Amino acid sequence: MAADDSAEKTEQPTAKKLQDAAEKGQIARSKDLGTAFVLIGSACAILMFGKMLAMGILTIGQRMLRLDQKDMFEVNSMFTAWGEVGKELIPPMAGIFAVILAAAFIGNTLLGGFNFSMQAAAPKASKMSVFKGFKRMFGLQAFVELLKSFLKVIVVVGIAYLLLKFFFDDIMSLSLMSEPNNIESALYFLAWIFLGLCSSVSVIALVDAPYQKWNHIKQLKMSLQEIKDEHKNSEGSPEIKQRIRRTQMEMSMKRMMQEVPKADVIVTNPTHYAIALKYDQGKFKAPVVVAKGVDEVAMHIRKIANEHKIPVLESPALARSIFHTTKVDHPIPEQLFAAVAQVLAYVYQLKMHKKGKGTRPKALAKDLPIPDDYRH
């Protein structure tokens, strides 16, 4: 039962799920919203540039129908006429196309944003499946589209009837008007009727856009197991991450043990802690911790030190203090300089004594100068 519950797609899609869907071309889109923007944009474009277009058409008609004898015998008269046609028609047509293009872009990107997907454009064998084709034809989405089509017809026919009834007397009076007023008025009525019809489509779009958004999210909903799997794939399997950390620790430990033979002294607890210190006056301003560890690691450090005849000194307080305050490959704190200096001085004197160049040094003081804040 728990497995069945976890398989239910009850969770909202993650950001990665939405991004993967967008890369495949699966985004919320409302065809009715795009259509409404294009139609309303077209009506607005006609209202904005319709008068200029009508006057241009009238000017061209007058020019073409009023030919004199000079125009008939002029070789370049046709090219001149075409130039006048372009001069009159190109500006209003360019304005109309620009408005429609902007409306089409806004309408088709308003809901799901701009998205270009090569995966969506690639041919798919599943689209050629007869079974899936019938499923799309008689599925829930097809039924919703059929209902929207009926609703469109009812709304558009109803709005068209109301608009024709409202403008009927004005339309009939156009026959009594002279040009160019009749052309301008006819275009004016046509634009407003067209705008009213287009606005009726926007009613469908206002219902369809939220539905498409809801349906898109519904299709991408995830189960709890899918969310866990996605997190595992994106963040990495815990077992793999643990293995990587273990490998990194092993490599770090190996490098650290390779530095132990280069140390000047090993400070111990005596059994639980071991700190390998190196001081190179030409390279470092202070002694550096080249290796440190507790328990088994500490024992291994002492073993390597004995093999390479590195001095091992017992100073529990100093060993604990350095272990808790200093990282490997970092210099010791300034507050521990005095204590470490005594250790290094003892080691130097001991080396000189073994070479027969000095007396044996006194035993290292048990109470080294360690500040209370650095005692652990």
List, for residues 238-261, the tens digit of each pLDDT value.
666 777 778 777 787 888 888 888
85 phi-psi bin (left φ>0, alpha ψ -120 to 50, beta other): alpha
pLDDT, tens only, 200-247: 777 778 877 888 888 878 888 887 777 777 776 766 566 667 777 787
CATH architecture, range 256-374: 3-Layer(aba) Sandwich (3.40)
In this predicted model, which residue has the larger pLDDT, 33 or 68?
33
279, 344 Cβ separation under 8 angstroms: yes
| In the predicted structure, residue 54 carries a pLDDT above the cut 70 | yes
Average pLDDT over residues 324-349: 86
Domains of the chain, by residue range, sit at 26-221, 256-374
The runs of H, that is alpha helices, within the chain are 2-7, 15-23, 31-65, 69-73, 77-109, 118-121, 130-137, 140-172, 181-220, 224-235, 238-259, 296-307, 316-325, 337-354
CA distance 237 to 244: 11
pLDDT, tens only, 175-190: 776 666 666 777 777 7
Which pairs with CB-CB distance under 8 Å and at least 24 residues apart come from 277-280? Answer: 277/322, 277/332, 277/340, 277/343, 277/344, 279/344
Instruction: Quote the pLDDT of residue 101.
Output: 92
CA distance 91 to 86: 8
Q: What are phi and psi of 285, to 5 degrees?
A: -85, -20
pTM over 0.75: no
Average pLDDT over residues 82-104: 86
Q: Which of 15-19, 77-81, 284-288 has the lowest mean pLDDT?
A: 77-81
